[in-house]
Chain A
Amino acid sequence: MKALVCVKRVIDYNVRIRVKSDKSGVETDNVKMSMNPFDEIAVEEAVRMKEKSQIQEIVILSIGTDKSQETIRSGLAMGGDRGILVKTDKEQLEPLTVGKIIKAVSDREKPDLIILGKQAIDDDCNQTGQIVATLLEIPQATFASELKKNDDNTLEVTREVDGGLETVKVNIPCVVTTDLRLNEPRYASLPNIMKAKQKKIDVLEIGSFGVDIKDRLQVLEVNEPPERKPGIKVDDVEALVNKLKNEAKVL
């Protein structure tokens, strides 16, 4: 089996987000960037499946500027075999565009499993995996918290849904999007980081795919969320309960 793992370079989850003063977006200059945490879980799952000999090759795909090569390298250091960067100068692409590019890459690569995070922690769209599955007309198992490969070329996937867990069986090829509970990604060891530098990354121009990358959704402005009004400190438990009951009226 061959896995295509799609990874996105995003602002590190520990960075405090700052909205630009001209409201055009959030500050990304001199900000630490990392692989989207949900995509990291996707890489980890593919590597674990390879360790169990369920997967023979792991291809790490990213779509972004040249800097996304770093993100691909961290996937290769975790255990990916080779990388593909679909290069664009555009800082942000919409999920529909990304979905079309992943579909085009999949048409060439013919992966059995396409695995990626359920959402990116920058635009929080939660769409890409579903779009890819739809365009490729293959089944999807989103928000996966457990993944089991059956002998009959199917995957049994437990999904985190509101109020519980749903299990579905999907034929291979399929798309899986990962949720938090699926696994805990490893830290790449220094030798593996060094080895990853030798692994191949193919760089393809986004223009070569014939996909219209024009945005359908125009971001008019980006604002700070409404501030919470400053709170107070209370002296004891009685005062707290009293405030919650009589002032906030939430008890």
Chain B
Amino acid sequence: MKVLVIIEHDNETVKQSSFSTITAAKEISDSVEAIVLGQGLDSVINELKKSDHLKKIYKIDNELFKNPLAENLSNAIQKFAEGSDYTHILSPSSTFGKNMSPKLSALMDVQQISDITKIISDDTFERPIYAGNAIAKVKSSDQIKVITVRSTCFEPCALNSSVDVESLTVNLDKNNSVSFVSYDKSKSDRPELTSAKIVISGGRGMQNGENFRLLEGIADKLGAAMGASRAAVDAGFVPNDWQVGQTGKIVAPDLYIAVGISGAIQHIAGIKDSKFIACINKDEEAPIFNFSDYGLVGDLFELLPKLEEKL
């Protein structure tokens, strides 16, 4: 068995999710290799080559891969993998992997296994369905397994090695049907909702958008990302992309703080993999208390300023 890991990066640094994917690969086989496609990859390679568990790194440095267009990436990786004996091809289940990996699977005519959270054996995996409300154990009968890995379920690999790097060239025609226009990095100084260690979210109990300021001060002190329940988003308190839940973002931070959130099923589905959940709610019967490690009953307008002060 031989595993290929597709590395996600931004031509400067390697995304942490790539290191987690290497750990997942190592659980499948001792023979793990990685491929990096991009432009101007020196710093990426310098970082990546320290990864434990990698036997080899292939790099394709070409302007075609300056921006991660799925069409170019999937075609190049398919061509590369075709001539070798990989049994598994793993990508992080980030928007990068989700965009690109199913294309790779379609080119290879295999059924991708999305978002695995556990490796049972080389062909059997666990993956959450219904936003984590159920866990499916699935067995693949495909010759080559194309997989995306939920990175929060695997620790990033250690960086104590020095891995061989081989440069490859690629024969690929430029795809003229799609072009990159721009990338606007979120301006917030806060961490990303889906990768933050701490997330603080507000719900309908916040009463209006202005009151989310009460959470901001706490988020600043904790270096936390800010989120919201669907009720708060539907009420127009905060933008849609703050929504945490089954139809919003799925988060799994070390600490999730739910403020003025009753705990609707669809919200719980998006937070249940958090290590610790704390909540503040004035209704002590609210379902959120059943899912919280620490619950505080009371008026959030009174409690939030106190909390900010104590941190």
Contacts and interface: CB of A to CB of B under 8 A. Distances in A.
Contacts of B106: 96, 99, 130-131, 134-135
Interface stretch (B30-38, B47-55, B209-217, B302-310): B302-310
B232 interface: no
A81 B241 CA distance: 31
Interface in A1-20: 11, 13-17, 19
B298 to A, nearest CB: 8
Q: Is the interface of A mostly helix, strand, loop or mixed?
A: mixed
A95 B278 contact: no
A128 to B, nearest CB: 8
Interface stretch (B19-27, B83-91, B137-145, B164-172): B137-145
A224 B114 contact: no
Contact of B311 (A121, A168, A174, A251): A251
Interface string A8-45: 00010111110100000010000000000110000000
Given A228-B272, A231-B293, A181 B139 contact: no
B66 interface: no
Interface string A166-202: 1111110010000011000000000000000000000
A162 B70 CA distance: 15
Q: Is the interface of B mostly helix, strand, loop or mixed?
A: mixed
Interface in A131-173: 131, 133-135, 138-143, 145, 156, 159-171
Contact size range, B: 35 or more
Interface of B: 69-71, 74, 94-96, 98-100, 102-103, 105-107, 109-115, 124, 127-142, 175-186, 192, 194-195, 197-198, 222, 239-241, 243, 246-248, 254-255, 264-266, 272, 275-278, 284, 289-297, 303, 306-307, 310-311
25 contacts: A11-B130, A15-B265, A16-B133, A95-B111, A121-B131, A124-B127, A124-B129, A124-B130, A126-B98, A126-B114, A131-B106, A160-B95, A161-B183, A162-B96, A167-B181, A168-B181, A174-B178, A216-B141, A217-B140, A225-B128, A231-B289, A231-B293, A232-B293, A237-B310, A250-B198
Given A96-B111, A168-B178, 14 more contacts: A13-B246, A13-B266, A15-B265, A17-B133, A121-B247, A125-B112, A142-B99, A164-B186, A168-B69, A174-B177, A219-B136, A221-B137, A233-B297, A236-B296
